[in-house]
Structure 1
């Protein structure tokens, strides 16, 4: 089943959800700000995405700019920060059949549907 890590306040995330809804396929919405992914889930998502942890961070978020922008952090520390501060996680993330994409732009989601 398709899973979307979604933030309804984000336009790109809403556009991504619309693409999934229009696919007619069954899906699950994870409101990740209310139910943050665990460190293990984040590690799995990063692996599926084929990226480094810093590539999943929203580096323009004020919390990142104010506290971490010029701090040297390990991959594990970055993942821990995202688990504690899910607002730092790039969105939307869509997982389907062992593949994942960050839906930026939202059209990238179509590649795994």
Structure 2
């Protein structure tokens, strides 16, 4: 098992740059292409805890799907929001790298932000 997991979108330049940076540092993370394998609501909540961010701060607010879902005005619970994100993974910020040993995580924007986990 890898010591790191990356929630990755191969079509995203920042995600590709982050994966390349990890590999250059000798890290071979478990790669989860989250658009093909969407994270469960429970996983999204765990990512939120690992990032120390509310789920609302993990979302791509400029994404058309985010706007179509009217999430700017969302007033529900984190559990409800996690369910929405699990059904619409495109709105999840990317990439997210998780250190498996303690579940700490970072969003790779900029890609160098994930180096704090190494």
Greater shift in the superposed pair: 49-58 or 23-32: 23-32
State which drifts further: 3-12 or 21-30: 21-30
TM-score (norm 1): 0.93
Q: Which residue of 2 aligns with 1:38?
A: 40
The gaps in structure 1 that reach 5 residues or longer are none
Hey, what's the Cα distance between the residues in 2 that align with 1:54 and 1:79? 9
Partner of 1:54: 56
CA RMSD, Structure 1 to Structure 2 (Å): 1.2
- The gaps in structure 2 that reach 5 residues or longer are none
Q: How many residues align?
A: 113
TM-score (norm 2): 0.90
- Structure 1 consecutive aligned stretches of length 4 or more whose deviation exceeds 4 Å: none
Q: 1:94 maps to which residue? A: 97
Per-residue CA deviation, residues 13-37 of structure 1 (Å, 9 max, x unaligned), is 0010011111112321000000000
The 5 A counterparts of 1:6-45 are 6-45=8-47
